Structure 1
């Protein structure tokens, strides 16, 4: 009988995720090599095939097609492969360290040419030697043999369970070096500390991929900031035409004259057009700056976001080392704070400047768009006022024409009445033609006036119906 509801489809995978990448144990004396390779998505299959060939050479079952980590024994080597978001890592471990530090390495035990054939670009590569105090070498001799005359950084790890030294430089073979001395590590703790140290370097390099991008963007951002400041000054200065102080008085005069029946020529229309064209040009320049900034944001924000994420991982791994200071040496935490943290801060500053510029350009564009809209509304108002004046003039002209039309209609109708009167007189009627025509004129005028008014009323009613 089932005791629980049906499982979430991803339950088992999520539960095992916390156990997915356990550290490999390392017993002193021992040595290790670590390689982090930046791998494109289209090279993932080649990477698996390359690793699979190595596994088959040692009769090992390689990783599956969907695997993101694998570990196995290849002769004297213990190989651990992990696929991260952007890069893959190879950790090689083997027992016993040579008599001379870093004279022999774990990576040197791989088949010739296999490591060089790994797909991708090397981000970080490092060798590590884990020694025990029983080997009896003087610390000064060990450091000189390992790092020469370079400045060494070192600290006690795990609250004093071991010591670590490094110069954080790339040596002639292309690898960095970590020298660890066991003072009470268990094999699992030693492996965990070594993994953290390697990951600090890998994540540090991945975070710093954004630094060259930040340096390339900085001069362009400075130029955009200057252009934006110049455009903002132009916007703040305001137009010298109708939207300036003197122009506002003209606009008030325009509004008063708009209601007047007297024909008025629009005031300062050429100046208004020039200011509108200037604002349009400023708006186009702001749009160009906005497009340039958004293009830069789209091209850089993934890298800057990754920088923040990797930098946080570096900080977490350093905290997990639980360092103690060694006399006369910088700790890893201090070393990173003095050299790595400023580079991350530079990337964060450039990213923040880009976002701030985007917001400032958007605000300036909004202000200028508002002003352009106001100028257009003012131009539309002036146009409507001019159209209103023309309509009133047309109405007056129409009324004048109607008066003349009535006179013409009366004249022609009086002529018709005169012809009728003359015809009646020819028939023998005793009519005074002139008197008869003269008396008919007022009646004809009244009839013509009523006819014109009725036609005007009918046209108005038709306009109202069409308007609805």
Structure 2
């Protein structure tokens, strides 16, 4: 007989990757919840504020509320928690920078912010979006449901080849929720859950896409001022000649570089997040497979016409900031080149001055040497004249003739002697 190893016998030789559980949990997070009957679904999304609690703290609160033991942030179970309170199905979901709470109840539940469903766990966070979906089992949205929408912004369309209808005007109701009317009588329970999930995601992600727009708009005057200041600095660089002027221009460039760097640091994450949310939003909008009803528009067209310009504004603002950083870098390089050229010109002037000074000293030295030869020769001839005068009575020589003959010889000897001394030095 052949012995069979235990099923887990071979696993002991492997070491699991530390992120394996997190990957598995992510594959099953945010699962589709089947919806069998008419229902009212609400979702709210929150993100941390400047002085509010972190998401993992809020997650720990909700885990305790749901009757779970304290879980760490890297535990995949904390990203998707289900609970049921007072006849409402509650789902908590944790995303990268925000968290959502979704609850499902009967269609006649008009309580917008009910107690006892865990909303208190979000205390200290900032509300970003609130969505309400009224799901009916009819095959089409009733005229009474459409009356409450604004016809100017109404999006009204068929989905999935006419198997469902959706309508919304993206206006907040008196409770602060954006209302969607969904007729899905021809869809099975799972397809209803998919549609509700898509609409909730579309409303949530469209709000987070637009979070970058106020940031871009608020930075527009700042960028305009920085561009004007940079032009002024560039003008000073072209006319700076003194050390004080160059230093003033350099200080201006450093101040502008710090301001631009701070702007890039403060906006880069928000702009990148808006772009990422926009990509996800486009995928979700395509998945609706909409066809407009009558002369009304679709959710995809309406949101695309608003989110695309917002993302373009964010990208343009980011581009302007980066262009400013590049211009400042080139300005600093230009100023360095300008300063280096000034230094070279100053050095050349100094070298020319030194050269002229050396030439003057050389000429002065030759003049002094010439005068020294004459002076030494004069004194030597004077001494020789005294000697000749002393012997003139003995040798009866003419002093004038002797001095005349000795003068050129003495000059030659003194000149050669000074030349030797210069070489020796």
What TM-score comes out, normalization by structure 1 length? 0.73
Q: Does 1:86 align with 2:88?
A: no
Q: Does 1:139 align with 2:142?
A: yes
> CA distance change for structure 1 residues 438 and 324 in 2, over 3 Å: closer, same or farther?
same
> CA distance change for structure 1 residues 196 and 449 in 2, over 3 Å: closer, same or farther?
farther
Listed one character per residue, the Cα deviations across residues 382-401 of structure 1 (whole Å, up to 9, x for unaligned) are 33222211211111111212
Are 1:26 and 1:93, in contact at CA under 8 Å, matched by a contact in 2? Answer: no
> CA distance change for structure 1 residues 210 and 455 in 2, over 3 Å: closer, same or farther?
farther
1:319 to 271, 274, 286: 286
CA distance in 1, matches of 2:410, 2:377: 6
> CA distance change for structure 1 residues 26 and 450 in 2, over 3 Å: closer, same or farther?
farther
Are 1:63 and 1:69, in contact at CA under 8 Å, matched by a contact in 2? Answer: no
Question: Where do 1:446-461 residues align within 5 Å?
Answer: 446-459=412-425
Q: Does 1:19 align with 2:22?
A: no
2:175 to 154, 169, 173: 173
C-alpha RMSD of matched pairs (Å): 3.9
Question: Where do 1:25-424 residues align within 5 Å?
Answer: 25-39=34-48, 43-56=54-67, 60-61=68-69, 63-67=71-75, 68-75=78-85, 76-94=87-105, 96-98=106-108, 103-104=110-111, 108=114, 110-111=115-116, 114-115=119-120, 117-133=122-138, 139-144=142-147, 147=149, 151-228=153-230, 273=241, 285-367=252-334, 369-412=336-379, 421=387
Deviation at 1:406, TM superposition (A): 3.1
CA distance in 2, matches of 1:156, 1:61: 44
User: Unaligned 5+ residue runs, structure 1?
Assistant: 240-271, 460-468
Are 1:46 and 1:119, in contact at CA under 8 Å, matched by a contact in 2? Answer: no
CA distance in 2, matches of 1:345, 1:216: 15
User: Residue 123 of structure 1 aligns to a residue in which SS?
Assistant: strand
CA distance in 1, matches of 2:182, 2:251: 62
What TM-score comes out, normalization by structure 2 length? 0.79
CA distance in 2, matches of 1:81, 1:454: 105
Listed one character per residue, the Cα deviations across residues 31-53 of structure 1 (whole Å, up to 9, x for unaligned) are 32211111258523431342133
CA distance in 1, matches of 2:135, 2:27: 27
Deviation at 1:328, TM superposition (A): 3.0
> CA distance change for structure 1 residues 225 and 148 in 2, over 3 Å: closer, same or farther?
closer
CA distance in 1, matches of 2:25, 2:263: 40
Aligned length, in residue pairs: 410
Listed one character per residue, the Cα deviations across residues 146-194 of structure 1 (whole Å, up to 9, x for unaligned) are 6477843232233433222222122222222222211333333322332
User: Residue 30 of structure 2 aligns to a residue in which SS?
Assistant: coil
CA distance in 1, matches of 2:59, 2:206: 25
CA distance in 1, matches of 2:220, 2:92: 38
Listed one character per residue, the Cα deviations across residues 5-29 of structure 1 (whole Å, up to 9, x for unaligned) are 7654434543553333323333232
> CA distance change for structure 1 residues 423 and 84 in 2, over 3 Å: closer, same or farther?
farther
Deviation at 1:140, TM superposition (A): 0.9
Listed one character per residue, the Cα deviations across residues 233-274 of structure 1 (whole Å, up to 9, x for unaligned) are 787xx66xxxxxxxxxxxxxxxxxxxxxxxxxxxxxxxx957
User: Unaligned 5+ residue runs, structure 2?
Assistant: 1-8
